[in-house]
Structure 1
Amino acid sequence: MIHKVNRVVKIASEKEIVISSIKVALVVGVILNSINQGEKLIALDFKHLNFLKLIITFSVPYMVSTYASVKVKLQKQKV
Protein backbone atom coordinates (compact mmCIF):
# COMPACT_ATOMS: atom_id res chain seq x y z
CA MET A 1 0.00 0.00 0.00
CA ILE A 2 2.73 2.49 0.98
CA HIS A 3 4.63 1.57 -2.19
CA LYS A 4 1.58 2.45 -4.29
CA VAL A 5 1.11 5.77 -2.47
CA ASN A 6 4.77 6.62 -3.02
CA ARG A 7 4.39 5.79 -6.72
CA VAL A 8 1.29 7.98 -7.03
CA VAL A 9 2.99 10.90 -5.26
CA LYS A 10 6.08 10.52 -7.44
CA ILE A 11 4.00 10.58 -10.63
CA ALA A 12 1.85 13.48 -9.38
CA SER A 13 5.05 15.45 -8.69
CA GLU A 14 6.44 15.05 -12.20
CA LYS A 15 7.16 18.41 -13.80
CA GLU A 16 4.97 17.84 -16.88
CA ILE A 17 1.97 16.81 -14.78
CA VAL A 18 2.36 19.72 -12.35
CA ILE A 19 2.64 22.25 -15.19
CA SER A 20 -0.32 20.76 -17.04
CA SER A 21 -2.46 20.74 -13.89
CA ILE A 22 -1.54 24.35 -13.10
CA LYS A 23 -2.61 25.41 -16.59
CA VAL A 24 -5.95 23.60 -16.21
CA ALA A 25 -6.47 25.08 -12.73
CA LEU A 26 -5.78 28.61 -13.97
CA VAL A 27 -8.18 28.41 -16.91
CA VAL A 28 -10.97 26.57 -15.11
CA GLY A 29 -10.42 28.49 -11.85
CA VAL A 30 -10.71 31.87 -13.55
CA ILE A 31 -13.89 30.80 -15.36
CA LEU A 32 -15.52 29.36 -12.23
CA ASN A 33 -14.49 32.29 -10.03
CA SER A 34 -15.87 34.66 -12.65
CA ILE A 35 -19.17 32.79 -12.55
CA ASN A 36 -19.32 32.49 -8.75
CA GLN A 37 -17.83 35.79 -7.58
CA GLY A 38 -17.40 37.81 -10.76
CA GLU A 39 -19.23 40.90 -9.55
CA LYS A 40 -17.03 41.12 -6.45
CA LEU A 41 -13.84 40.54 -8.45
CA ILE A 42 -14.74 43.17 -11.06
CA ALA A 43 -15.62 45.68 -8.35
CA LEU A 44 -12.42 44.76 -6.44
CA ASP A 45 -14.66 44.22 -3.43
CA PHE A 46 -12.13 42.22 -1.42
CA LYS A 47 -14.04 42.84 1.80
CA HIS A 48 -16.93 40.63 0.60
CA LEU A 49 -14.88 38.24 -1.52
CA ASN A 50 -14.88 34.70 -0.19
CA PHE A 51 -11.19 33.76 -0.28
CA LEU A 52 -11.85 30.16 0.75
CA LYS A 53 -14.11 29.73 -2.29
CA LEU A 54 -11.46 31.43 -4.43
CA ILE A 55 -8.76 29.00 -3.31
CA ILE A 56 -10.97 25.93 -3.57
CA THR A 57 -12.13 26.96 -7.03
CA PHE A 58 -8.51 26.79 -8.23
CA SER A 59 -7.56 23.75 -6.13
CA VAL A 60 -10.29 21.40 -7.32
CA PRO A 61 -9.45 21.59 -11.05
CA TYR A 62 -5.76 21.14 -10.16
CA MET A 63 -6.52 18.00 -8.17
CA VAL A 64 -8.88 16.58 -10.81
CA SER A 65 -6.35 17.16 -13.58
CA THR A 66 -3.56 15.62 -11.51
CA TYR A 67 -5.73 12.62 -10.61
CA ALA A 68 -6.61 12.01 -14.26
CA SER A 69 -2.99 12.29 -15.37
CA VAL A 70 -1.76 9.93 -12.66
CA LYS A 71 -4.51 7.42 -13.43
CA VAL A 72 -3.64 7.38 -17.14
CA LYS A 73 0.07 7.00 -16.41
CA LEU A 74 -0.53 4.13 -13.98
CA GLN A 75 -2.74 2.35 -16.54
CA LYS A 76 -0.04 2.71 -19.21
CA GLN A 77 2.55 1.25 -16.83
CA LYS A 78 0.39 -1.87 -16.26
CA VAL A 79 0.31 -2.69 -19.98
Structure 2
Amino acid sequence: MKDFLQLACSAGIARSALRVALVVGTALNVINQGGDILVGDNIAWFHLLLNYLVPYCVASYSAARNQIMRSEDE
Protein backbone atom coordinates (compact mmCIF):
# COMPACT_ATOMS: atom_id res chain seq x y z
CA MET A 1 0.00 0.00 0.00
CA LYS A 2 2.84 2.38 0.84
CA ASP A 3 4.43 1.75 -2.57
CA PHE A 4 1.09 2.42 -4.26
CA LEU A 5 0.68 5.76 -2.47
CA GLN A 6 4.24 6.78 -3.32
CA LEU A 7 3.61 5.94 -6.96
CA ALA A 8 0.26 7.77 -7.00
CA CYS A 9 1.97 10.86 -5.54
CA SER A 10 4.94 10.75 -7.91
CA ALA A 11 5.62 13.87 -9.94
CA GLY A 12 4.57 12.49 -13.33
CA ILE A 13 1.30 11.02 -12.14
CA ALA A 14 0.50 14.07 -10.00
CA ARG A 15 1.01 16.43 -12.97
CA SER A 16 -1.20 14.34 -15.23
CA ALA A 17 -3.88 13.98 -12.56
CA LEU A 18 -3.80 17.73 -11.93
CA ARG A 19 -4.43 18.46 -15.61
CA VAL A 20 -7.36 16.03 -15.65
CA ALA A 21 -8.74 17.54 -12.44
CA LEU A 22 -8.55 21.07 -13.81
CA VAL A 23 -10.46 20.19 -16.98
CA VAL A 24 -13.03 17.84 -15.45
CA GLY A 25 -13.42 19.89 -12.25
CA THR A 26 -14.05 23.07 -14.20
CA ALA A 27 -16.63 21.32 -16.38
CA LEU A 28 -18.37 19.91 -13.30
CA ASN A 29 -18.42 23.31 -11.61
CA VAL A 30 -19.91 24.94 -14.70
CA ILE A 31 -22.56 22.22 -14.88
CA ASN A 32 -23.37 22.22 -11.17
CA GLN A 33 -22.91 25.87 -10.19
CA GLY A 34 -22.61 27.77 -13.45
CA GLY A 35 -25.79 29.77 -12.91
CA ASP A 36 -24.77 30.81 -9.40
CA ILE A 37 -21.32 31.81 -10.60
CA LEU A 38 -22.69 33.92 -13.46
CA VAL A 39 -25.18 35.85 -11.36
CA GLY A 40 -22.86 36.21 -8.39
CA ASP A 41 -24.85 34.12 -5.92
CA ASN A 42 -23.25 32.19 -3.11
CA ILE A 43 -21.08 29.32 -4.24
CA ALA A 44 -20.97 25.98 -2.43
CA TRP A 45 -17.22 26.02 -1.76
CA PHE A 46 -17.13 22.48 -0.39
CA HIS A 47 -18.75 21.17 -3.59
CA LEU A 48 -16.40 23.28 -5.69
CA LEU A 49 -13.44 21.65 -3.93
CA LEU A 50 -14.91 18.17 -4.35
CA ASN A 51 -15.44 18.79 -8.07
CA TYR A 52 -11.66 19.11 -8.39
CA LEU A 53 -10.58 16.60 -5.75
CA VAL A 54 -12.58 13.61 -7.01
CA PRO A 55 -11.24 13.69 -10.61
CA TYR A 56 -7.70 14.16 -9.23
CA CYS A 57 -8.05 11.09 -7.00
CA VAL A 58 -9.60 8.98 -9.77
CA ALA A 59 -6.92 9.96 -12.30
CA SER A 60 -4.01 9.38 -9.92
CA TYR A 61 -5.45 6.05 -8.72
CA SER A 62 -6.02 4.87 -12.29
CA ALA A 63 -2.54 5.87 -13.44
CA ALA A 64 -0.83 4.24 -10.47
CA ARG A 65 -2.90 1.06 -10.79
CA ASN A 66 -2.14 0.91 -14.51
CA GLN A 67 1.58 1.28 -13.89
CA ILE A 68 1.53 -1.48 -11.26
CA MET A 69 -0.38 -3.80 -13.58
CA ARG A 70 2.14 -3.17 -16.37
CA SER A 71 5.09 -3.91 -14.10
CA GLU A 72 3.46 -7.17 -12.92
CA ASP A 73 2.99 -8.32 -16.53
CA GLU A 74 6.70 -7.92 -17.30
Instruction: Name the counterpart of 2:12.
Output: 16
Identity rate of aligned residues, in percent?
30
Q: 5 Å matches for 1:57-76?
A: 57-76=51-70
Number of residue equivalences: 73
SS at match of 2:43: coil
Aligned-partner Cα distance in 2 for 1:58–1:16:
18
Aligned-partner Cα distance in 2 for 1:6–1:41:
40
Consecutive unaligned residues in structure 2, runs of 5 or more? none
TM-score normalised per structure 2:
0.92
Moved over 3 A (4+): none
Q: CA RMSD in A?
A: 0.9
TM-score normalised per structure 1:
0.87
Contact 2:9 2:60 in 1 (8 A): no
